[in-house]
Amino acid sequence: MQTSPDRRVRQLLRQVLRRLRLQGAAHAVAFGGALAVVPYVVTRNWSFAAGMAGLGAIGYWWASRGPRTHIAAQIEARAPQCRNVLVTAEALLDGRLKARPEVVAVVLDDAAIQAATIAPAVLWPWRRAVTALAGAVVLWSFVALIPAGGLAVLTSGAVEASSLPVVDHVAVVVTPPAYSMREPETLDDPERVSVLAGSRAQVRVVSSAVSLTFETADGVQPVVRAADGTFVGGLTVEADGYLAVTPLGPNGEIGSRRLIGVTAIQDHAPEVRITEPAKDLYLRSGDTRIPVGLRAADDLGLRSVTLAYTKVAGAGESFAFTEGTVPVTVTQVSEREWTAVGVLPLDTMALDVGDMVVYRGVALDQRPGAAPVESDAFIVEIVSAANAMSEGFSIDDRQDKYALSQQMVIIKTERLLAKAPGLSQDELLDEALGIAAEQRSVRAEIVFMTGGEFEDEVVESEHEGELSAGRLDNTGRADLGLATRAMSRAATELVAGELKTALVSEREALTAMQRALSRRRFILRTLTLRARVDDSRRLQGRLVDLGRGVRPVDAATVSALVDAARTALLVTTQVSRQTTLTFEHSAELSRAASGLLSADGRGAPVVDVASRLSAAAEAIAAGTPDVARRALADAGARLTAIASAELATAPMTAVDDAAARLRGALADALRAGGGR
């Protein structure tokens, strides 16, 4: 019988937890045993040493409880291919996260697939725990066999040879801003922290140092020691940067510091748009109400959505502007997406012909001090029949309009005729006015494309007989003249509501345009005389006078970042070649990381490289050279990319003008003398 996905996930979590507890117990016993060596050497009392061993083991077990509280996070830290699916599954199984059943099923299936590929024995081998126990046993065997005097000498030497202070553990508690409604998050030993801008990060450090300093892009911050012996500090994240934790010894000596990259995720402004009617309107009267639909969205949460308008009344230099808002009914699709409906009361605004109302949506998100965001604005204008015709002389910027063409005017007229029985007389006239405006637009475009050379309609009609009889040479011009006059008649008939008559005029205009633009090619005709190349003037002039100008090129300047990257790359290469890595190498890597941060402390690639150099320094201090070499190899590749990207282009080689003139004179002489 196949095991359910949730059982497979829980089984993996239990196996990892049991292994971590056993390994933690082994480490605690080894730590307590090693810690009891000093009391035994000083007092030579087995009971006291055993008591100190028990206290040390209990203290180590309590101090290392953090990794055992977030099992899924520990698994994904060592198996990044899971991509947070185990963390999400653990939250769903524990009830800390709610979701729909189908979503839970998909997440658990993915988590079960990942769990089948994870072997706890590979991720957490017993090698370190067994080595720690064996080391404690060897240490006690060595101490028990050496006399008391020899132990005193060894003890003093061990104290003198103790390493510099190191950072053992870093826990970052991120508290997002209150308006985001997000829960605090705890990160253990992170290499990079990505938080919402404005979040407060509390950093708790476990270290053997006497004191600590926190360094950021803004300077050094104070750190206090808490009652439990850890160091606690905090910072508010407003922009990208870094956090460098530097341990200090009793005499001010500096140990290997821990570097953490900090990324600030900015809260985006909300988006709002009008969904209905979402176009400019031209009405014959203002005795109506217009429903307006809005939609707003934000990445975190919205605070309000309103419908604002501006009434523009008057003429000439005397305009009056009146601002106002309209109540809306809001429907919350989610915390991040709202829809709203409002009614624009034109009948209460006392609008006259020529007045205009500009309306737009306004949204505001939850971020304190955020500026309101407005949507695209649309207008409602009160026009007369004559004004509706004059609208055709300019092309409006409606987003949903058709491409202006005579064929489209005919199609719209046919559609209006088809639905005319279901419209009132006022509605029919309003739509006919819009088509008349578009008809005027088409006519204006034709006149514009031909250079605006057509005469007035009255003058044109006087010469219509001559144009029709063909007494003018340009028959294409005659056809365009017929088309523009037919368009004028169609616009007049549309304003009067005579749709059938207007349709006949529109088709006459289309036929005339097709004759002029297709057969006669009035617009695309070429010139009667072509410009020809004078062959007698070809290949003239003297090549000796030919010169090639060379633009001056400024000398390339190397930035501080390139210098720091080169220095860090040199140090990385030298340290990587060493057979044995010492604490001096760790100090060199720390200084190289500091130089990079001083050159460019906020660039994400630079912070990543500095983090890897710092990790390599810590690995050297901890005695894990393999980890250090892997970090150095990664840092070297990234340093090369940074230096290459920052270097300026090499200057071009200058052209020798004297040599160029000499070659030109030789070519002239050979051509004049017929030489080869």
Q: Could you tell me if 123 and 226 lie in one domain? A: no
Taking alpha carbons only, the member of 552, 549, 556 closest to residue 650 is 556
Q: Could you tell me if 141 and 67 lie in one domain? A: yes
Q: Could you tell me if 255 and 181 lie in one domain? A: yes
Q: Tell me phi and psi for residue 675, to 5 degrees.
A: -75, 170
Q: pTM for the complete prediction?
A: 0.44
Q: Could you tell me if 25 and 141 lie in one domain? A: yes
Domain boundary among 135, 160, 185: 160
d(CA 453, CA 459): 12
Q: Which tens digits make up the pLDDT trace of 192-210? A: 888 888 888 888 888 888 8
What pLDDT is recorded for position 64? 63
Is residue 248 classed as helix, strand or coil in its secondary structure? strand
Q: Could you tell me if 177 and 283 lie in one domain? A: no
d(CA 5, CA 109): 6
What pLDDT is recorded for position 293? 92
Contact partners, residue 424, CB within 8 Å, separation at least 6: none
The stretches in the chain having pLDDT less than 50 are 1, 149-162, 317, 389-403, 454-458, 467-473, 519-530
Taking alpha carbons only, the member of 568, 554, 480 closest to residue 516 is 480
Domain boundary among 381, 413, 441: 381
What pLDDT is recorded for position 462? 52
How is 194-223 classified by DSSP, letter by letter?
EEETTEEEEEEEEES-SEEEEEETTEEE--
Taking alpha carbons only, the member of 456, 436, 426 closest to residue 387 is 436
d(CA 604, CA 192): 10
Q: Could you tell me if 400 and 445 lie in one domain? A: yes
Q: Is residue 545 part of a domain?
A: no
d(CA 260, CA 195): 13
Cβ atoms 268, 299 nearer than 8 A: yes
Taking alpha carbons only, the member of 563, 573, 635 closest to residue 599 is 563
Q: Is residue 22 part of a domain?
A: yes
Q: Is residue 555 part of a domain?
A: no
Q: Tell me phi and psi for residue 582, to 5 degrees.
A: -115, 180
Taking alpha carbons only, the member of 568, 579, 517, 544 closest to residue 671 is 544
What pLDDT is recorded for position 472? 43
Query: Residue 337, class by beta-carbon neighbours within 10 Å (0-12 exposed, 13-18 middle, 19+ buried)?
Result: middle
CA 157 from centroid of its chain's CA atoms: 56
Cβ atoms 571, 656 nearer than 8 A: no
Q: What residue type is 404 in one-letter code?
A: L
Q: Is residue 214 part of a domain?
A: yes
Q: Is residue 580 part of a domain?
A: yes
d(CA 291, CA 326): 11
Q: Could you tell me if 98 and 120 lie in one domain? A: yes
Q: Tell me phi and psi for residue 173, to 5 degrees.
A: -105, 110
Q: Could you tell me if 434 and 348 lie in one domain? A: no
Domain boundary among 497, 519, 541: 519
Question: Which residue range(s) make up the domain with 392?
Answer: 388-519
Q: Could you tell me if 146 and 284 lie in one domain? A: no
Q: Taking the CB of residue 561, how many other CB atoms lie within 10 A of it?
A: 19
Q: Could you tell me if 317 and 251 lie in one domain? A: no
Q: Could you tell me if 304 and 281 lie in one domain? A: yes
Contact partners, residue 17, CB within 8 Å, separation at least 6: 68, 71
Domain count within the chain: 5
What pLDDT is recorded for position 522? 43
CATH number at residue 204: 2.60.40.10
Q: Could you tell me if 156 and 68 lie in one domain? A: yes
Q: Is residue 660 part of a domain?
A: no
DSSP tally for the chain: helices H, then strands E = 21, 20
Task: Please report which helix (H) or strand (E) contains residue 313, including its range.
Answer: strand 302-315
d(CA 36, CA 157): 17
Pairing state between β 199-207 and 337-345: unpaired
